[in-house]
Amino acid sequence: MERKTLLLGSNYLPIQVLHWQQAVKLKYEGIATVVLEYSDELRGASVTWKWPAVMRLVAENREGRRDVRFSRLNVYLRDRFHCQYCRRKFTFTELTFDHVIPRRRGGRTEWTNIVAACRPCNNKKGHQSCDESGLFPWHRPVRPKSLPAPTPRIDPATAPPEWDGFVTY
């Protein structure tokens, strides 16, 4: 049976689902500690461990942090998947991004000029300015210092019972 391990951040929030080899490596290197184990055992030549079901990072790596990279997903995360014109929440595939100052008028594709928009609002605004279209962003677009990490998608039908209490479905 192929066992997966749920990796939590140091704050106990889910970060990702690991293959068992990755989990063993994190445990061996002391990067993560085991929070909960499966009843099965992993046997090596000189060591026997319980199979890790849930692990937690010992500390977050803050040294390698850089500015948040501009991308479609990161714009949607910054705007919390809400259209900045009608304020409704949408899925990734239902959103587009809009240039507040249209490119035709010198608007650039950068953090301070892009907002998440649903297709109807984006079509309504078109290539017009906010004044011309009457549509104004809910929040002023800014370069974020950080973004919430997207949580892993976990299917409740296939999630092991050991993960209950650590993930929300």
* Cα angle value 109/141/78 (rounded, 5°): 95
Do 127 and 84 sit in the same domain of this protein?
A: yes
Do 125 and 79 sit in the same domain of this protein?
A: yes
Domains: count for the chain: 2
Do 59 and 94 sit in the same domain of this protein?
A: no
CA distance 123 to 82: 16
User: What separation in angstroms does the CA of 167 have from each of 34, 141, 156, 158?
Assistant: 16, 31, 9, 13
CA distance 126 to 124: 5
Is the residue at 140 inside a domain?
Answer: no
Is the residue at 83 inside a domain?
Answer: yes
Full pLDDT tens readout for the chain, 169 residues = 578 999 998 888 888 999 988 998 999 899 999 999 999 888 888 888 888 999 999 986 554 456 789 999 899 999 999 999 999 999 999 999 999 999 999 999 999 999 999 999 999 999 999 999 999 999 999 999 988 766 788 888 888 999 988 887 6
- For the whole model, what pTM was predicted? 0.58
- Domain of 92 in residue numbering reads as 72-133
Do 58 and 80 sit in the same domain of this protein?
A: no
